[in-house]
Structure 1
Amino acid sequence: MASRISVAVIGTFDTKLQEHLYLRSQILSHDSSVNVILIDAGRTATDHEAITIKQPDVLKASGYGRDDAALKSLTRGEIVKTMIDGAIPVVRQLHDRGEFHAIIGLGGSSGTSIAAAVMRQLPLTFPKLIVSTVASGDTKFYVAETDITMMYSVVDVAGLNQVLKAVVDNAAAAIVGMAKAYVARLDRGLPGDEKKVIGITMFGVTTKGADAARMWLERNGFEVCVFHATGAGGRAMERLVKEGHLRGVLDLTTTELADELVGGVFPAGSDRLTVAAKASVPQIVSVGALDMVNFGAMDTVPAQFRKRNLVEHNPSVTIMRTTSKECEGLGNVIAKRLRENITEPRLTEVWLPLRGVSMMDVEGQAFYDEAADDALFAAIRNGLKYTGIKVVEFDSDINDAEWAESMARRLAELIQLQSD
C-alpha cells in the first residue's frame, strides 16, 4: 500500500472554513497518518495555515485575468462558474500526479455545484463524496453519469452543532475507508486481458435478450457490465468507453434516443451513440425499446400525449408507444450518428430484430406496431447505405435467446478482428 494516503477536501472556505476544518480534524481522528489537502474555491481569499491550495491559486488557474477584488463584482453564478473553471485543472493536475486518493466536499447548493463539477472530471471508480444540503432532492444535475456519493447534511452547513458533527464524522470515516480501498486496488494492479470487459445496455423489456447475451459472453471469458438505459446509464457506459475500460459494446437497448427525440424523462444527450464509433471500439448496436418513450407516473404525462397509446409500467413509470413518424426519426438519428462519427466501419454493426424491439412490441402485446417498426428499420437501412457499416436482420424478437447469443458471438469476433 502507498506509504501515505492523501484525501483532497474542496470547499468555499470564506463561508465554511470552520466546518471544513472540523471535517479535516475528523479525517485525522480516523487515521492521523492521512495527508489532508485543503483546496479553497471560495469567493474571497481566506488565510489559514491548514489550507494547502489557496483561493488566489484556484482563481489564477481559471484564467480570470483580474484580482480577487474584481471577482466580488461578479454575480454569484458567475463566481461559481469562475471557481469551477479554476478548481477543475487544479484538481486534475493533482490527480494526474497521483497526489491524492479520494476527494470530499461539503456545502450548500453553490459549494455542491463546485465540488460536483470538479468530481465529474475525475475517472469513474475514483472515490468521491459530497456532504450536501441538496442531497435529498433531485441530484442528477450534480451526479450525472458519475459515481459521486452524496450524503444529506440534515441541517445546513452553517456552524457546528451535534447533528452536523455526527454527519461530518460519518463522512470523514467513509472517505478514509474509500481512500484506503482505492489504494489497495491500485496495489493489486489493474486486471489483465484475461477479463475482457464488455458493456451491455438493458431495460426491463429487453432483459431476457440482454441476459442471454451476457451469459454467453461470461461463458466465453468476458466480464460484462450491464447498464440500465435510463439516460445516465447510457452516458456511463460511453464514459467507460472513453476512459478505455471497455473492449466492446453490445448496445442492445438504445431507448434513450426515443426520450431525447420525443421528450421523455430518460434522455442521454446528443453525444449518445457516438463515443464507441469515434474510439474504434467494436460494437453491435440494436434498437431495444425504441417502441417506447418514458414518463413518470401517469398524471405526469404531458397533456399533448394523454390520448396516445400509454401503459402504466409501474406506479412510477408510464410508457408511450412511438409512432411511425417518430420511429423513422429514430432510425435517422441512429444512422446519422454512426455515419458521422465512425472511424472503422468494419468494427460496428447494426442488428435488427424484425419481430419486435421489446417484450411489449411482439404480436399480441400492447405496443405491437408493424408499420412503426418497419419505418424504423427502413430509415436505418437507407441511412447506412454505402457507409461500410453492416446491417444484420433476424426474423426474431429482441428477447430471443438465439438472436442474443448470435449478437454476443459476433461481438467477440469483432473484438478478435480488431486484435488481428
Structure 2
Amino acid sequence: MTSKRPPKILLCGTGDTKADELQYMASRIRAAGGDPVMLDVSVLGDPPYRPEYDKHAVAAAIGTTIEAIAQSGDENSAMELMARGASTLARNLNDSGEIDGFIAIGGTMGTDLALDIALALPIGVPKFIVSTIAFSHLIPPERVAPDLMMILWAGGLYGLNDTCKAVLSQASGAVVGAALASERPRKGLPTVAISSLGTTCLSYMKTLRPELEKRGYETVIFHTTGMGGRAMESLAAGKQFVAVLDFSLQEVANHLSDSVVSSGVDRLENAGRAAIPQIVAPGAIDMIDFPAWKPVPDTLAERPYHAHNRLLASVTSGGEARRAIARAIGAKLATATAPVAFILPAGGIQQWDRDGEPLHEPEALAAFTDEMRHAVSAPVELHEIQGHINDPEFASTALAIFDRWVAEGIIAPGLSQRQAS
C-alpha cells in the first residue's frame, strides 16, 4: 500500500446463501483495520445487504446480463460466466488502485469461481480463499495462483458457529495484515526464473544465481515439487521474466506418470507461448515422485527407491519410460515462439544417478540421452556435454548461452549491463 487509508479488501461470495458469513467477515475486516468491499456473485437470489458490486455489475463486466447468465444452461455454465465477470471486475479494480487485497468464501462452487479471481490478480496482491475443499486434490495445480493462501472452512457450509467463526476471523484478519505488509514486486526489474530441486539433488543454482546477479538480474528459483513449477508457469504466462532457465523437469515426468506431484498439463509450455527465451535441461526427469506415506505404486514397485523425507519419495523410471519423457519434452519445446536451447548432460541428471549412488542406471540414462538427441530439432539449439548436470561444465555452458543471447539482443540486458552501456 502507498496511502494511509485503510486497506480495501474485496470480499467475495454468494450473498444469497452466505450472507451471515460474509457480513461476519466484513465486521472482522473492519475490526482489523480494513475496509471491506462486497462483491456478490449470486445468480438467482439477492443478499439482504447492498454490496458495492452486485451480480448485475459482475455480468456487465463481460458485456452480458444476469438474466442471460441464469438462462445459460445449468449451474456450472452460470458460475463459469460469473467467474469471468468477477475476474474481469476484480482485475479492473486492482488496476485502478481501488482494492488492496482479496478474500472469498465458498464450497466447491464458490472456490471454483474464487480460484479464477485469484489468478486474475497479479502477484503481491494478497489473495485468500476460505474453502471447504482447501488443500484438496480436487483443485488442479493449474488453477492455483502463485501466491494464493487458503484456509479450510472447518465447521462451515451452512450458518455460523464458534468453530467456523474461529476460521473466518483468522482469515479476515490475515488478509488485512497481508495488505498492510505486502511488498509488491518492483516493475521493470529484469527477472530470470530458474527451476530446481534442493541443492543436494541439483546444485547448479549455487553458481548461476551469483553470476546472474553480477550481471544485474533478479533471480527467482522455483522448487519443482508440484506447486513450485506451477507458480513459475503462471508467472511465465504473465510475461514476468526476461528468460527462463528450466533445468528441473521432474514435474513433466511426474505428470506423464500420473503422479499427484504435478504442475499441470502445460508444464514447460507457458514461457514458450509468452515468447520468453528458454534454456532448458532435463534435471531429475528420471525420478517419479509420490507421497512417502503411501505405498509404492504397483507399476513402479520393482524400481530403485529413494525416500526424501516423510512426505516425498521417488522411484526411477526405466529406459522406455525415459524415451517417452524425452519425446514429450521435445514436443513441448517445439511449440515455443522464442529461442530455446537445450543442454543435454550425458553424464547424469541428478545427484543420486552418479556412479556408486543408489539411483545409478547407466543404460536407462543412455536410452534417454539417445532419444533426446532425436527429439530436439531446429530451431531449438542442442548443446550436449559429457559431464553431469551438477558439474561446473553444465553451469558454464548455460552462462555462455545466456551471455551470447544477451549480446544478440534475445535476452534483455541486466541493470549492470544497461549502466555500462
Partner of 2:174: 174
* Counterpart among 186, 195, 209 of residue 190 in structure 1: 186
Q: Write the letter of the residue equivalent to 2:27.
A: S
Alpha-carbon contact 1:234-1:256 (below 8 Å) kept: yes
1:129 Cα shift? 0.9
Partner of 1:165: 165
Alpha-carbon contact 1:210-1:399 (below 8 Å) kept: no
Q: Does the C-alpha gap of structure 1 residues 152 and 261 become closer, same or farther in structure 2, counting only changes over 3 Å?
A: closer
1:406 Cα shift? 3.5
Partner of 2:399: 408
| Counterparts of 2:109 and 2:338, CA distance in 1 | 43
Partner of 1:6: 8
| Counterparts of 2:295 and 2:145, CA distance in 1 | 24
Q: Does the C-alpha gap of structure 1 residues 269 and 137 become closer, same or farther in structure 2, counting only changes over 3 Å?
A: closer
Q: Does 1:122 align with 2:121?
A: yes
| Counterparts of 1:130 and 1:361, CA distance in 2 | 41
How many residues were matched structurally?
A: 407
Alpha-carbon contact 2:56-2:65 (below 8 Å) kept: no
Partner of 1:392: 383
| Counterparts of 1:85 and 1:15, CA distance in 2 | 20
Deviations 1:368-417 (A, max 9, x none): 222322222222222333x1322112221111134224423432442343
Bigger mean CA deviation after superposition, 66-75 or 205-214: 66-75
Q: Write the letter of the residue equivalent to 1:399.
A: N
Alpha-carbon contact 2:39-2:51 (below 8 Å) kept: yes
Partner of 1:26: 28
Q: Write the letter of the residue equivalent to 1:354.
A: A
Q: Does the C-alpha gap of structure 1 residues 217 and 64 become closer, same or farther in structure 2, counting only changes over 3 Å?
A: same
* Counterpart among 337, 344, 363 of residue 371 in structure 1: 363
Deviations 1:325-368 (A, max 9, x none): 112112211222112x23333xx211111111111211122222
Partner of 2:348: 356
Q: Write the letter of the residue equivalent to 1:382.
A: H
Bigger mean CA deviation after superposition, 217-226 or 5-14: 217-226
Q: Matched residue of 1:7: which SS? A: strand
Alpha-carbon contact 2:9-2:100 (below 8 Å) kept: yes
Alpha-carbon contact 1:56-1:68 (below 8 Å) kept: no
Q: Does the C-alpha gap of structure 1 residues 126 and 415 become closer, same or farther in structure 2, counting only changes over 3 Å?
A: farther
Q: Does the C-alpha gap of structure 1 residues 29 and 279 become closer, same or farther in structure 2, counting only changes over 3 Å?
A: same
Alpha-carbon contact 2:202-2:283 (below 8 Å) kept: no
Q: Matched residue of 1:87: which SS? A: helix
Deviations 1:28-84 (A, max 9, x none): 2333xx543211112433144531122244356567777389559945x45543432
1:112 Cα shift? 2.5
Q: Does 1:67 align with 2:67?
A: yes
Q: Write the letter of the residue equivalent to 1:147.
A: D
Partner of 1:55: 55
Q: Matched residue of 2:266: which SS? A: coil
Partner of 1:211: 206
Q: Matched residue of 1:287: which SS? A: strand
Partner of 2:107: 108
What RMSD over aligned residues (CA atoms) do the two structures have, in Å? 2.9
1:244 Cα shift? 2.6
| Counterparts of 1:375 and 1:231, CA distance in 2 | 26
Alpha-carbon contact 2:69-2:82 (below 8 Å) kept: no
Q: Any stretches of 5+ residues in structure 1 without a counterpart? A: none
Alpha-carbon contact 1:247-1:415 (below 8 Å) kept: no
| Counterparts of 2:328 and 2:177, CA distance in 1 | 44
1:191 Cα shift? 4.8
Q: Does the C-alpha gap of structure 1 residues 56 and 220 become closer, same or farther in structure 2, counting only changes over 3 Å?
A: closer
1:288 Cα shift? 0.3
| Counterparts of 1:9 and 1:355, CA distance in 2 | 53
Q: Matched residue of 1:103: which SS? A: strand
Q: Matched residue of 1:377: which SS? A: helix
Q: Does the C-alpha gap of structure 1 residues 129 and 291 become closer, same or farther in structure 2, counting only changes over 3 Å?
A: same
Q: Matched residue of 1:10: which SS? A: strand
Partner of 2:299: 304
Q: Does the C-alpha gap of structure 1 residues 366 and 24 become closer, same or farther in structure 2, counting only changes over 3 Å?
A: same
Bigger mean CA deviation after superposition, 255-264 or 364-373: 364-373
Q: Does 1:294 align with 2:289?
A: yes
| Counterparts of 2:393 and 2:201, CA distance in 1 | 14
| Counterparts of 1:149 and 1:316, CA distance in 2 | 21
| Counterparts of 2:68 and 2:323, CA distance in 1 | 54
* Counterpart among 337, 341, 345 of residue 343 in structure 1: 337
Deviations 1:113-169 (A, max 9, x none): 322232122222221012233336557548625211112333215333444334333
| Counterparts of 1:8 and 1:378, CA distance in 2 | 53
Runs of 4+ in 1 over 4 A off after TM superposition: 59-66, 68-73, 136-140
Partner of 1:234: 229
| Counterparts of 2:180 and 2:310, CA distance in 1 | 41
| Counterparts of 1:66 and 1:126, CA distance in 2 | 28
Alpha-carbon contact 2:202-2:350 (below 8 Å) kept: no
| Counterparts of 2:69 and 2:212, CA distance in 1 | 59
| Counterparts of 1:179 and 1:315, CA distance in 2 | 34
Q: Matched residue of 1:350: which SS? A: strand
